[in-house]
Structure 1
Amino acid sequence: MGNSFETITVLQYRLKAAQEELAAFQSGEKYIRMEKQHLTQVRALERRIAKLEAAVAKEHSHAITIRNQWFEIFEQLQKECDRMVAEAVKKADMMEKRAIRAEKQRDIALEKVTSQRRELCKVKTELDDEKQKVQKLTAQINRNYENSSIPSSKSIARKKISNSREKTGRKPGGQPGHRGHCRKKLTPTREIYLPAPEEVLHDPDFKKTSKTITKQKIDISVEVHVTEYHADVYYNSKTGERIHAPFPQGVIDDVNYGGNLRAFLFLLNNDCCTSIDKSRRFLSDLTDGKINISKGMINNLCRSFAQKTESQRKEIFCDMLLSPVMHTDCTNARVNGESSYVFVCAVPDGGVLYFARGKKGHDGIKGTVVEDYQGTLVHDHDVTFYKYGTGHQECLAHVLRYLKDSMDNEKDRTWNRQMHSL
């Protein structure tokens, strides 16, 4: 009830207001007021528009002024920018040209460096090759009979073989405080008793003691002993046969030389390595020219010795085949001015055999102990010897020579000294 009353009241007021407004419109007053109000608003709006137009014109003029100023500034900036761009382009062109020129120079320099490196590498390689050649030639020049297998006879201007013993600074001979090595006395072949001095004979105060001083004088003499055999010849008148007593063994020719003389000449010619001429001259001088042996006779002594020792050599040959270790080598020789070779075979117990050959290699080994040997061969690493035997060892004398060669020509290495000491 309350709400409806209020609603009715509101509606009544609104209806009354509407009736009054309708009456105003009907009377025309409302139109007059509205027109006046409208005119007032129009004039106010016109004045406002005029002000706004003036402000707009002013702002437009100001904008034109600012725009003109901006155009001027922009033109200046554009000119400055164009100038800077032109300078930058010019500088860029210059830099590009410089870069191209620098690249060309760099490429040329790289080519030069590459070429120089190649030349340097080539020069280093050649230098290393030359150094190796120089080292090799120096080593070849420095090689002699002391540090290689070159025989001393082939060394040019060879020096004297030095003694490997270190000097002690002491004088040669007996040293103080050491027991002396006296000369040994021999069995006398002749005794001479010296008489008493004259002063002893005439002075009765001297009495003979039991002490006797003996001194020996040892000397040698060469005597020619000639034994001449006589044998009567007997003739059989019935058969015509002639007969005489047999001569001793070895007495065949009218003049025969004994075994001592033959052995002396054989050892002098072979063991002492004197020539046939010197051997016969030496014997002639010893005998005051009584014995003058021919060269042919001395030359035949080797053949005679070989024939008489054939059985002994065969026995030594067989013993060598059973030895577990054997040393062998081949050396040069000259026979009637032509090259020949001597093969040497030796075993630790002292057996030694020499084989004369006209060739080296396998042809020279034929007939020697090496051909059928089945033990360890010790040699100078000649490739021929590796075809024989069951084991091989290089002669340490050659190894020491090679190590000495390395020590003399390769001083930057240390293993060679260590190996040499070992």
Structure 2
Amino acid sequence: MPDTYDYITLMCRLKAAQARNKELESGERYVKLKELHQKDCRDYEHKILELQTEIAEAHKETIRVRNYWFQVLEDMLLEFEAMQKKVERKLKEMEKRVLFAEKQRDDALDKVKELRLQFYKTAARLEEEQGKNLKLRAQINRDYENSSIPSSKVLRRKKITNSREKTGRKPGAQPGHKGHSRKKQEPTRPAILLPPPEEVLEDCAFKKTARTIIKQLVRVRMVLDVTEYHADVYYNSQTGERVHAAFPDGVIDDVNYDGSIRAFLFLLNNDCCTSIDKSRKFLSDLTGGKLNISKGMISKLSREFALKTESERRTAYAEMLLSPVMHTDCTNARENGKNCQVYVCVTPDGKALYFAREKKGHEGVKGNDLSES
């Protein structure tokens, strides 16, 4: 049998369903739903109007802020253009000032250069005049006391007196004075011990002391040193080629002279001022007549050595041109039997170069280049 609670529940549901059905049949439910829907629509329309109003206000505010920022940007742009024009004016003024300063500097440098040249000319003239003055004073003050002029040529000469005081000592080295002996050389061969005298060997009373007397005999000798190279020749039977081993550098002709002979002859001819004939004769006598160097080889040694030092001379001349001061003097000489002028160029740091020219003065200084020296 159904429970009383379930029955009551079912009856309540039935009544609710009947009431709902009645409302639906009569249209009251539809009217209520329509009223609720219209109310919600009105509320939504009101909210939409409020939102549209807020959007319009926000759009107006955005337009106002945008216009404000556009105005600010235009003001900043105008201010920037004004500042840029001001900076450009200042740059132009500074450029004018720089150009004017550079012109003043160039004028000052030109003036300093002229003053330096004038100073060098004045200093050179002063040095020349001082040299002439010193030379003239020396010539004026020369007499029999300070030159080789005999006293008989002097008109008003005075008696030459001996002002030395007599000391009573003998002439020559004095006791206790250290003598100036000859400098001993380094031995080139083992020392030779001399045998004792016969009287020492015969008499046993002689005893050996700790003292040893050392004396040297120095001599100079010249030895002819000849090196001969042999190179076998090989023949290729297929190609007909002949080859041999390469000779060392400098070995070109059948007989070659190395740098020692060339330097020896160059020093004899130039440094010792020995003629070419005497130089070759001296070398021939030293070697027992084995070496007879031709005159042409000796005469061209100076040119060969000069060509080997061409790069060094160019470097030295370039460094001399960079020096603030270069002194130049001229002296007479002879070249190949003709008179010439030798210019000596010297800088304060000790560099010196010699140039041979045919003329003196400014004409000789023109074209001072190593390629012509």
TM-score, normalised relative to structure 2: 0.50
Task: Give 1 or 2 for the bigger CA radius of gyration.
Answer: 1
TM-score, normalised relative to structure 1: 0.44
